Structure 1
Amino acid sequence: MPILQIDHLQKAYGDTHILHDINISIDEGDFLVLVGPSGCGKSTLLNCIAGLEPITGGDIEIAGRNVTGVSPKDRDIAMVFQSYALYPTMTVAKNITFGMKVRGVDKATQASKLAEVSRQLQIEPLLHRKPGQLSGGQRQRVAMGRALVRDPKLFLFDEPLSNLDAKLRVSMRTEIKKLHQDLNASIVYVTHDQIEAMTLATKIVVMKGGVIQQIGTPAEIYNRPANMFVADFMGSPAMNLIPARVRSEGGQTRIEIERDGAEPLVITDPVARDLPAQIVLGVRPEDIHEATGNAHLPGTAQGAGGDVMIEIVEPAGADTFAVTHLGGKAVTARLRAESAVRPRAMFPLAFDLSKVSYFSPTDGERLN
């Protein structure tokens, strides 16, 4: 039985439709991340799951129980907010146990739960402090502790790390992932940070304009994006999206990409079939390699690249990013740190054809 089942959910404010026919199902222990740009509806969807927003249509089930119209306190959920939402006059210990006290949980159980979560989150020395005496990361741990003592069916996280600095976000991300693994908790997590989504999720929902663009594992979303929006949004640097022409020749597919001041770059894909005359070729920066003579990497084939003019070289420690122009677009290759690539010079690049995506230029949908 799914721990969360959402069927044909709609949300509108008057004539303004925010969420359109949302269908999601996750199993117990799943870590579902809702990701998308600002204004895509992900926080509204989380609030609908929590019962903080009434829905316009559809159904929400938590652990097999239809909670559509049920008040938030009766949904067996716990929520961690972006703003922490701690009581400033209460100590850390009282903030964590306050919900249990309101629900009439006995003091012995309160003390046991408090000791357990404070040990898990390593906040035992902070229990007698007040929120104003804590750092941002410490406050977030307290907010998580308050949720953990509930032992709910479903945890809801609303951009919990967005107020933290970059270094602290990375360490808190690791803590949240460890908590998920240790507790086998069922989590729905909202973020606009696609790196957060990729590192935390067992399943990702990519949203745009209140519509689900794709649901899948991080590997599925990254390697086989359903459309150009997902391809461009997920990944840093983003997938290269290069306009190209397609010709059939001798039972093989020739893909021609315009080059500034030179003949088109021709890629021969022996397995591509039934592509339209105009496509957009998608390739991740790490799937563009240095072509060294006839020694092509696995997945590349003879004719899968050529010499291009490198415009910008960006050393980045373990990698070197090289930027060229193909099909009128800036194209980034992620090369080895020791690559002998130079700006304003020709350099041989090869595409890993086992990793490329083909998209329709008209509706952006995946073709392969």
Structure 2
Amino acid sequence: MAPILEINNLFKSYGSVEILKDINVSIEQGDFLVLVGPSGCGKSTLLNCIAGLEPISGGTLSISGRDMTHVNPKDRDIAMVFQSYALYPTMTVAKNITFGMKVRGVDQATQDEKLKQVAGQLQIEPLLDRKPGQLSGGQRQRVAMGRALVRDPKLFLFDEPLSNLDAKLRVEMRTEIKALHQRLGASMVYVTHDQIEAMTLATKIVVMKGGVIQQIGTPSEIYNHPANLFVADFMGSPAMNLIPATTRMNGKGLEVEIARANGTPITLIDTNNKDLPENVILGVRPEDIADASLRGGEGRQEADCMIDIVEPAGADTYAVMQLGGKHVTARLHAETGAVAGQHLNLAFDLGKVSYFAPDTGERLN
């Protein structure tokens, strides 16, 4: 069975300026693909190329096995949800949702059936007689999604649909979109600059920077095995700690030495990795640094660290220190004894660390 979406060697240029460079992506039926990256990385341009709103400069693009490289948007069997909602202000919610079907000549009975089905899925039945000006931002977004859902397309495209919503509503709508995907089993491509949205929604993530794909993988692969320093730093909140270190083999394993502002360097023994260059960037997630008095154990290496800042955050407490000339954050349990200006014995989980080359930024382990 052909992938629902397949992109091969896609390039996009405006004159001499390359926006997208050698893009290769494919997803299967039912996948939720999230394109994520900072502003200007090319993710929305790539979505527009998939939709046919932007012509591509090179390469091919197919949907459900059919070449769509030069096919008009209306003939691609897609539905798109925009950041701006794009609702008709003079039409009721019901007419906004069914307008596309009316234009395509769908009979009234089918329109009514589809409207009832989608309104139930999105829980907007009480809103059908209202106009967009009478709706909240979250309700308008539901209507925009409803207009896409009645199409029953091969592919749904979402262009930062939650960015206009406040933080609480964004979390609620994110949950609704996830539940909708699970109910429908639909194939979706979703653009966001928010890495938390990407991690929570996706079955597959494409991380982009400067028009180039940095890594493609599941949320777990992207988070636990970032391909380079950019992905490691971009994906995660708080971000992965990236600490300059030196390594050498001894009889016990890989000796990892990290400089401290005051006192002798920290030395950790990693028994999981070997044959690394002398100079590396050690990548460790904040949650993989624990208060040793609360969570030591097998595979963890303990070190005495001076805590500079303590930030209580409910169930977690963040402790910030200086290691290797960098600010390093530990995500500790709320019951930690961490105090700013005092030393604390911390346990580093070396079974979960990453190593990167300082010059190229590429992953080494």
Q: TM-score range by the shorter chain?
A: over 0.9
Question: Which is worse superposed, 352-361 or 269-278?
Answer: 269-278
Report % sequence identity: 73
Task: In structure 1, give the amino acid aligned to 2:327.
Answer: A
Q: What is the alpha-carbon distance in structure 2 between the residues aligned to residue 270 and residue 292 of structure 1?
A: 22
Q: Which runs of 5+ in 2 are unaligned?
A: none
Partner of 1:317: 314
Q: What is the alpha-carbon distance in structure 1 between the residues aligned to residue 63 and residue 238 of structure 2?
A: 37
Residues 240-263 of structure 1: CA deviation (Å, up to 9, x unaligned): 000001122226211110001110
**Runs of 4 or more above 2 Å deviation:** 295-299
| Local SS of the residue matching 1:354 | helix
Residues 249 and 274 in structure 2, CA contact (< 8 A), matched pair in contact too: no
Q: What is the alpha-carbon distance in structure 2 between the residues aligned to residue 247 and residue 298 of structure 1?
A: 22
Q: What is the alpha-carbon distance in structure 1 between the residues aligned to residue 72 and residue 298 of structure 2?
A: 55
Partner of 1:9: 10
Q: What is the alpha-carbon distance in structure 2 between the residues aligned to residue 55 and residue 298 of structure 1?
A: 53
Task: In structure 1, give the amino acid aligned to 2:361.
Answer: G
Partner of 2:346: 349
Q: What is the alpha-carbon distance in structure 2 between the residues aligned to residue 5 and residue 185 of structure 1?
A: 16
Matches within 5 A, 1:103-142: 103-142=104-143
Partner of 1:88: 89
Q: What is the alpha-carbon distance in structure 1 between the residues aligned to residue 29 and residue 299 of structure 2?
A: 37
Task: In structure 2, give the amino acid aligned to 1:328.
Answer: G
Partner of 2:299: 299
Q: What is the alpha-carbon distance in structure 2 between the residues aligned to residue 338 and residue 248 of structure 1?
A: 36
Residues 35-90 of structure 1: CA deviation (Å, up to 9, x unaligned): 00000000000000000000000001100000001000000000000000001111
Please say if 1:271 is aligned against 2:272.
Answer: yes
Residues 191 and 197 in structure 1, CA contact (< 8 A), matched pair in contact too: yes
Residues 297 and 352 in structure 1, CA contact (< 8 A), matched pair in contact too: no
Residues 265 and 305 in structure 1, CA contact (< 8 A), matched pair in contact too: no
Report how far residue 272 of structure 1 moved: 1.4
Report the TM-score, using the length of structure 2 for normalisation. 0.98
Residues 172-199 of structure 1: CA deviation (Å, up to 9, x unaligned): 0010001000000100000000000000
Please say if 1:43 is aligned against 2:40.
Answer: no
Partner of 2:74: 73
Q: What is the alpha-carbon distance in structure 1 between the residues aligned to residue 155 and residue 229 of structure 2?
A: 32
Give the aligned length: 364
| Local SS of the residue matching 1:151 | coil
Cα distance, 1:58–1:192 mapped onto 2, change above 3 Å: same
Report how far residue 296 of structure 1 moved: 2.9
Q: What is the alpha-carbon distance in structure 1 between the residues aligned to residue 97 and residue 176 of structure 2?
A: 18
Residues 276-320 of structure 1: CA deviation (Å, up to 9, x unaligned): 110000000000011239x733432xxx23101000001110011
Q: What is the alpha-carbon distance in structure 2 between the residues aligned to residue 131 and residue 271 of structure 1?
A: 58
Cα distance, 1:306–1:87 mapped onto 2, change above 3 Å: same
| Local SS of the residue matching 2:351 | coil
Q: What is the alpha-carbon distance in structure 2 between the residues aligned to residue 207 and residue 80 of structure 1?
A: 21
Partner of 2:146: 145
Partner of 2:32: 31
Residues 272 and 351 in structure 2, CA contact (< 8 A), matched pair in contact too: no
Residues 140-181 of structure 1: CA deviation (Å, up to 9, x unaligned): 000000000000000000000000000000000010001000
| Aligned Cα root-mean-square deviation (Å) | 1.0
Partner of 1:285: 286
Residues 232 and 238 in structure 1, CA contact (< 8 A), matched pair in contact too: yes
Residues 83-121 of structure 1: CA deviation (Å, up to 9, x unaligned): 000011111111000000111100000000000000110
Task: In structure 1, give the amino acid aligned to 2:299.
Answer: G
Please say if 1:336 is aligned against 2:337.
Answer: no
Partner of 1:212: 213
Residues 219-258 of structure 1: CA deviation (Å, up to 9, x unaligned): 0000000001000000000000000011222262111100
| Local SS of the residue matching 1:7 | strand
Q: What is the alpha-carbon distance in structure 1 between the residues aligned to residue 296 and residue 147 of structure 2?
A: 54
Partner of 1:195: 196
Residues 266 and 305 in structure 1, CA contact (< 8 A), matched pair in contact too: no
Residues 252 and 269 in structure 2, CA contact (< 8 A), matched pair in contact too: no
Report how far residue 349 of structure 1 moved: 0.8
| Local SS of the residue matching 1:212 | strand
Residues 7-31 of structure 1: CA deviation (Å, up to 9, x unaligned): 0000000000000000001000000
| Local SS of the residue matching 2:265 | strand
Task: In structure 2, give the amino acid aligned to 1:348.
Answer: N
Cα distance, 1:345–1:70 mapped onto 2, change above 3 Å: same
Partner of 1:240: 241
